[in-house]
Each structure stands twice: as structure tokens, then as C-alpha cells.
Structure 1
Amino acid sequence: MRRILVTGADGAIGRAATEGLADAGYSVTGLALSYQHPSKADRPLVGDACSSEDVAAALEDVDAVLHLAAIPHPSLGTPYEVFRTNATSTFNVLAQAAERGIDRVVIASSINAFGVPLNVHPVVPAYYPLDENVDTDITDAYSLSKSVDEQTARMAWRRWGTNVIALRFPLVKSRDQLVTIAERVAANPAAMAREGWAYLDLRDAVRAIIAALEVPLTGAHVIGLAADDILLDRSTMSLLSDYAPTVPLRQPVHGRGSLIDTTRARTLLKFSPVHSIHEEYQAV
């Protein structure tokens, strides 16, 4: 790979990924609706990932794609706007990449793809730790769009042979932002119980993205990500006892251990997080 297209290049993850890819020696084409921040893309383009023409122009001379463009929360548009934008942009990018013979696309999915965290009903996950096969129960357009994106990835592989990795991101922020959010969630831990108080440092998100772009992996894969610990400075078992006592626990969790099963990330991507909100550590 020499040149990578990053859609959503002016978003928080998009900016960090563009910088990380540029620092790793890649040429980066950025595609964003607008640029409100400086970009390290050597070819920054203004355009819409839902537009056939804009995506076609952005894909010129591209070897791989990182598709991050999306409306990232159901509150940021009408249900129709959220679903149409997210599902259409993903199909558009994957289909056009396939037409050009690009065989590696990484797309941003979400922990919300299984529907429970944003569910309007008082449902709980089928089990912890959450994995990529956990039962779905979807009641909002954003979670539906992420689930459909994962199906679109599988279709692209089956129809065109395009290798696609869908990364299920949890809460992704810089460490300082995570500290602020953790202070707020500590006052109401129930607010994040249905997503297992999961998070990922932005620096680790970039490392996971680069691993997904570079790994010699074929097929369509959904891969869950999270830090090795939870957001709150409490034992995981005490939080489960207080806020999710009826959810079955499939394997022991110690200390502040994560409630996300990241086996696929470790085995398929050879990726392990190295940053924690609680302490800086180096994974073995």
C-alpha cells in the first residue's frame, strides 16, 4: 500500500488516523464535508461519502480505504438522515473500491451494532464479556446503520472479493477527555452498564486501524475493540453486582478487567491496547 483514502478525515478519529498513517509513511487522501482543523493528508478533498462523484474522485490512485464518515449518534439527525447517510456512504465506498480492484477496506462499526446500549427498552446484554456474536436488539437508526454496515462488508466480500474489516469501536477519546467523561459517569454508572463501561484511548484506536489496514487477512471480519480495563475506577465485579446483576458472566473478570472480549483483535490483528485511563502500561 502506498496511498490510503480516509473518509471522515476531519472527525476526531479521522484526524488522528490521518496523522498516524502519514507518520507511518503512507500518502493520505482525505475526504470530509469540510475541514475545521488542520489535516496531515497530502491530498485533502472536500466532498460527501454518499456522493458517487466525490468518492470516485477521492479513490484515484488509492490502494486501501479507511471509511470513517458517518453521523456518529442518533441524536445528530433524524432517524432517516442517520440511517441513510451511514448505510449509503458505506455501500458507496465499498462498491466503488471494489470496482477499482481495491482489496482492503477498513470501516468503522460500533459497540452499538448489537443495539442494546442505545435501546429504548430496559433490556440488558445477553452476557458479558460482550463479543461479536452477542444477540442483537435494535431500536434506533444509528445502531441499525452500524449493523447494516457490517452486513454490507460481508456482501462486498462475497460479491467482489473485497477484504473488509469492520472495527467495533467503543467510546473513543483522548485520555484527557476520557478522564472527564469518567468523572461524569462515576456519578451515574448505570448510564454505561449496557456497554460494559468500555472505552478505547484514541492512540490505541489509531494503532488498531493501522493493524487492520496492514494485516494479511482475507474475508470480511467484525472485530471488537476496547481497553483492557473499564472506564471507572471500581472493580468490575462490584459494578456488575450493582448495575447488571442478572447478566450472565461467561468468564471470570478480575480487578477493573474489561467486559469486552477482544480475542479476535488479538488473534486476527495481533493488536493489544497499550493505554489505560488509570495508568500508562505496556501490554506484553
Structure 2
Amino acid sequence: MRVVVTGAGGNIGRAVVARLRRQGVEVVALTLEPATFEHARVVVGSAGDPDVVAEAFQEDTDAVIHLAAIPAPTLGTALDVFAGNTRATFVVLDEAARRGVPRAVLASSYALLGMPFSPHDLHPPYYPLDEQAPPQIEDPYALSKLVDELTGEMVHRRHGMDVVALRFPFTGDTPRLEKAAADVRTDPATGARNSWAYLHVEDAAEAAWLAASAPLHGFHRVFLAAPETLSDRPTEELIAAHHPGVPIRTPVPGRRVPIDTGAVERLLGFRPAYKLPGQDG
């Protein structure tokens, strides 16, 4: 099996490349800056450059895992973030589709809902959140992720490529997650825009591998999250304090994350393996 990974030099990208290599997959790593990957062919350049992407797809490819993006609206101008992200996604999927690549995995985001980077204090329409929750987009990054998903849906309809959009929450390695948990437990408001959700980067890599290899057809968008929140307080207590008046459609017991991850479990059989120390939910 051969898989192209864009954004291979990022935190999730490196974890994905390592996970694929453990599986015996032949990897083509597309990265913006020169980098070294054991047992992988490296292509250096922008995922928004058709010539660079064509080089990555110069061999027969079974799947592409597209992770390349500017990951926050604060890391460039609004035009850089929106146009750069959406261009890269279109170029990668278009080049892959025209070469007959049968599967694509997109790094989408919980931020697509609009809350994390909004200039205003937004509240979700309901809890637990699911894939039917309407976005409230007020920033270019969230808008780019919505367009990325629509691009994946279009490519599926036009070319028949199977596409999975993984809506990652706040994601990091163990030290990053432990720091975030300490911040949230000191001040729960710091996690409210993200619904106190997280995912370990190794779980993100496992989900990407399953999305690239599991038997499935069609276009799918799915939320991911660890089963417990970053907080040490009951989730419904957090919701009442920081998102007052938001309806809770089904109970969220204990410290359960207020995101319904049933869709990704049904689609891929994915369950996160990592929990922060002290979590037993």
C-alpha cells in the first residue's frame, strides 16, 4: 500500500507517517520545509502548488491523507489562511482524483463550528454536539474547513473518490495535553470554546490510518474526541456555568466529553486509547 501524507512535518503528520510505517505502508511525505523521515520518500514544497503535488503522486497511490494547513486564523492574514487552506485542499484532491486515487482523508476540525476563534462569545446549539450541528462561522480558518469538507464532498460526487473528513478537536502530545488540562482545571473558561475536548496525537494518527484503510464508501464527516474532558469537574456543571441555556439533549454523565463520537466509531471502529492521567471514565 502506498499513501501520500501532506503536512507530514507537523505534529499530527509525523505521528501519521510513523503509524503508517509501523503498518508496513509505503509513505510519500509532502512537507513545506525539508525534513527527514525514516523509510519515506520526501517531497518538499507547498500542498497548494500543483507541480509539487503532482510529484508526490508520480507513483500509483492507494490513499492520500491531507493534513497540510495553516492551523489557526492568527497565523496569517485572513486571505492567507482561507485561500491557502482551501487552495491546498482543492489541489491535493483534484490531483489525486485525476490520477484515480480511490481514498482521501481530510484533516477537518471541531473549529468548523465557529466557536474557538470567533471574536464573539458563541454557544453551541445543543449538547452533545454531533455532525448535524450547524456552524456559526465568524473566522477565516473555520470557513476554510467548511469549504474543505465541501470540496471533499464534491470530489466524491464528481470522481467517485471515497473521502473521510476527520473533525479533530484540540490535539497534542502528552506534555501539551497535560498543560492544557492544568490550565482548564485552574480556569474552566479556557476550555469552554472547545467544549473541553481533546485528542492525543497518537489517537489522531490511528484514526487517520483507519480512515485510509477501512472498508467504506461515500463521503463522511465525523467528530473525534477522547472520552473524557480536560476538566476535573462534571461536564453538565461546566455546561451550566459556561454555556447557560444550551439544551442537553441526552445526559452527559460524569466528565464525559459533550461530543457524540458514535459516528466515527460506527464508520471506522475507532475508539481513542489515550486518557489523561487520573481519568477513569
Interval containing the TM-score (normalised by the shorter chain)? over 0.9
TM-score normalised by L of structure 1: 0.95
Q: Is the 8 A contact 1:274 1:280 kept in 2?
A: no
Query: What does 1:72-221 correspond to in 2, within 5 Å?
Result: 72-221=71-220
Match of 1:17 in 2: 16
Residues 118-164 of structure 1 show CA distances to partners (whole Å, capped at 9, x for unaligned) of 22122200011111111111110000000000000110011111111
Of the three residues 26, 40, 47, the one matched with 2:38 is 40
Q: Is the 8 A contact 1:18 1:40 kept in 2?
A: no
Residues 244-279 of structure 1 show CA distances to partners (whole Å, capped at 9, x for unaligned) of 221111111111101111011110111111211134
Question: Aligned AA for 1:128?
Answer: Y
Rounded Cα–Cα distance in structure 2 between residues aligned with 1:126 and 1:238: 17
Match of 1:270 in 2: 269
Match of 1:55 in 2: 53
Aligned alpha-carbon RMSD (Å): 1.4
- Tell me the CA shift for residue 280 of structure 1: 7.3
Rounded Cα–Cα distance in structure 2 between residues aligned with 1:182 and 1:272: 21
Residues 144-203 of structure 1 show CA distances to partners (whole Å, capped at 9, x for unaligned) of 000000000110011111111000000111122101111122233222213210100111
Q: How many residue pairs get matched?
A: 280
Residues 64-84 of structure 1 show CA distances to partners (whole Å, capped at 9, x for unaligned) of 100000000100000000011
Question: Aligned AA for 1:66?
Answer: I
Instruction: Give the secondary structure class of the aligned counterpart of 2:43.
Output: strand
Rounded Cα–Cα distance in structure 1 between residues aligned with 2:210 and 2:279: 21
Rounded Cα–Cα distance in structure 2 between residues aligned with 1:150 and 1:41: 31
Rounded Cα–Cα distance in structure 2 between residues aligned with 1:118 and 1:187: 21
Structure 1: which 5+ runs fail to align?
A: none
Residues 37-88 of structure 1 show CA distances to partners (whole Å, capped at 9, x for unaligned) of x423520111110001000000122221000000001000000000111000
Residues 19-54 of structure 1 show CA distances to partners (whole Å, capped at 9, x for unaligned) of 110011001000011135x42352011111000100
Rounded Cα–Cα distance in structure 1 between residues aligned with 2:34 and 2:277: 33
Rounded Cα–Cα distance in structure 1 between residues aligned with 2:219 and 2:91: 17
Rounded Cα–Cα distance in structure 2 between residues aligned with 1:26 and 1:204: 18
Rounded Cα–Cα distance in structure 1 between residues aligned with 2:67 and 2:118: 23
CA distance 1:78–1:96, change in 2 (3 Å): same
Question: Aligned AA for 2:28?
Answer: T
Question: Aligned AA for 2:41?
Answer: R
Rounded Cα–Cα distance in structure 1 between residues aligned with 2:78 and 2:222: 26
1:236 correspondence with 2:232: no
Rounded Cα–Cα distance in structure 2 between residues aligned with 1:85 and 1:72: 11
Instruction: Give the secondary structure class of the aligned counterpart of 2:55.
Output: helix
TM-score normalised by L of structure 2: 0.96
Question: Aligned AA for 2:12?
Answer: I
Rounded Cα–Cα distance in structure 1 between residues aligned with 2:163 and 2:125: 27
Query: What does 1:240-255 correspond to in 2, within 5 Å?
Result: 240-255=239-254
Identity percentage over the alignment? Answer: 44
- Tell me the CA shift for residue 242 of structure 1: 1.6
Q: Greater shift after overlay, 10-19 or 233-242? A: 233-242
Rounded Cα–Cα distance in structure 2 between residues aligned with 1:169 and 1:41: 27
Q: Is the 8 A contact 1:18 1:41 kept in 2?
A: no
